[in-house]
A and B are shown apart, each in its own frame.
With several copies, the nearest count.
Chain A
Amino acid sequence: MKKNLLGQIEALLFVTGDDGLSFSQLQFLTEAGAEQVEQALAELKSRYDGEAFGVTLKELAGVYQLVTKPEMAETIQKLVENPTPQSLSQASLEVLAIVAYKQPITRVELEDLRGVKSEKALATLAAKGLIQECGRAEGTGRAILYGTTDEFLNYFGLKNLEELPPLPEEMAQEPEEDTDLFMTKFQEAFKEEVNA
């Protein structure tokens, strides 16, 4: 490996702070091969695991960033004006969950799912940079389509959308399935009867 690749990566991530750098940017800036960068990132990460280290490496929204370790939170919160971290309301979280899993989605589809008007929650989330307009639906209305942003990934500590926890499975098979199967069989039988 290049002599001080670890140091280079650390310096770059330090300088870029919460902007972070993507893998390919790191590769370009350090002029190292992909494997080397990968190895260096892994080494950095395991180095940061040591107790005497206050920061760690995290991949958020597709970029690598240095962040402080969770166990440092208490100390750092003494620096913060309002130590209780801002958190989203239940309504916002619900809307965000639906947008995240169903994107792109229109307001009307979202409201149908929730059963309540959601204009305000959408506006709040857009203002927080967590969702954005990402196009228009086909059709006459050309309704606005909403999707999540990189800030959404960052806010929830996700690398990418694939990292979203899987949606809870439907609890059981729908009872209709039996009926449908039955109906199918019935109609088949019926057809046979008729054709016979």
Chain B
Amino acid sequence: MSYEVKVDAFEGPLDLLLHLIHRLEIDIYDIPVSQITTQYMEHIRAMQVLELNEASEYLVMAATLLAIKSKTLLPVHEGEIDEVDYEFDEEDPRDELVSRLIEYKKYKEAASELKKLENDRAVLYSKAPADLSELQQPDTMDYDANAYDMLGAFQKMLRRKQLRAPLSTRVARQEVSIKEQMGSMVERLKSFKGRANFSELFPSDDQAVLVVSFLSLLELMKRQVIAVEQQKNFTELSVELRKETWQDEEEPFGPN
């Protein structure tokens, strides 16, 4: 019999056991230990190959199952009548495992309820508190805050930033042509007295602008308007202006 084992599908040995119990349609209160142990072993054998981080936890459970199995396999002790007391005292070796499984199952189900709540909440959007600092007196930090409040504040800010980001990108993403950028690159170099560090020529954080800037730099190099050099490995590239003007008539991307 072969199994398709998705390693990530299980949150640990208890989860795996619940999965087996469900699949084999077993009564959780009357687990056939021998059967489930065999199935469990086959599963972890397949999983071990993949070097699970939690391998040791799966192995501990395997040992537990084997111990229970060996206990249940012991012949039922038909004691003398005086010993009847002890027989009643003897617990079903499966009891502890069963109660662990039941307890775990409760929270696993609770987790899926939380998942639903998470989905419902994810579609409600809020807004940032308005900036009231203009109306505010300077000294208002008299409250008890802990590091987690601060983290919370940071989270909110990041959540908000996520909403704002595409807007600012849209605004920033004006069409910048390579030709224009070549011109402003030369102007910028002039303002640096003809020599600048590579990074100083890329003042914008916007990727679209960066790409265009880069392409125009390459174009300027090709036309030998500028030269690029590096003093040593890993030091910053420096860009030098060689010509004050560049021919405009040539098509930037035309074949030479």
Contacts and interface: CB of A to CB of B under 8 A. Distances in A.
Contacts of B160: 115
A116 to B, nearest CB: 3
A132 B145 CA distance: 13
A34 interface: no
A31 interface: no
Given A88-B115, A178-B207, A190-B228, 13 more contacts: A15-B127, A21-B167, A70-B124, A73-B123, A76-B132, A80-B162, A94-B157, A113-B104, A117-B133, A151-B152, A167-B151, A172-B29, A193-B221
A70 B121 CA distance: 8
A121 B111 contact: no
Interface in B118-165: 118-133, 135-158, 160-165
A45 to B, nearest CB: 14
Given A83-B140, A187-B198, A73 B106 contact: no
Nearest to A178: B207
B11 A90 contact: yes
B223 interface: no
Contact of B214 (A66, A150, A178, A186): A186
A85 B121 CA distance: 10
Contacts of B162: 80-82
20 contacts: A16-B164, A69-B124, A70-B124, A73-B123, A89-B141, A91-B132, A93-B115, A94-B107, A96-B111, A115-B104, A124-B138, A127-B139, A132-B148, A157-B146, A168-B105, A179-B207, A182-B88, A183-B202, A186-B214, A194-B229
Interface stretch (B33-41, B42-50, B70-78, B95-103): B95-103
B125 A164 contact: no
Contacts of B138: 120, 123-124, 127
A39 interface: no
Contact of B128 (A17, A67, A139, A170): A17
A64 to B, nearest CB: 12
B110 A168 contact: yes
A156 interface: yes
Chain A interface mostly: helix
B24 interface: no
A101 B110 contact: yes
Contacts of A150: 152
Contacts of A81: 137, 162, 165-166
Interface in A132-170: 132, 139, 149-151, 154-158, 163-165, 167-168, 170
8 closest Cβ pairs, A-B complex: A116-B12, A157-B121, A73-B123, A97-B154, A93-B153, A85-B122, A18-B126, A97-B110
A193 B218 CA distance: 8
A156 B12 CA distance: 25
A94 B153 contact: yes
Interface of A: 11, 14-19, 21, 25, 58, 65-70, 72-73, 76-77, 79-83, 85-94, 96-98, 100-101, 113-117, 120-121, 123-130, 132, 139, 149-151, 154-158, 163-165, 167-168, 170-172, 174-176, 178-179, 182-183, 186-187, 189-191, 193-194
B139 A124 contact: yes
B151 A176 contact: no
Contact of A116 (B13, B125, B151, B155): B13
A92 B149 CA distance: 11
A165 B153 CA distance: 13
Contact of A97 (B120, B142, B151): B151
Greatest chain B CB density within 10 A among A80, A93, A130 is at A93
B212 interface: no
A68 B153 CA distance: 21
B237 to A, nearest CB: 6
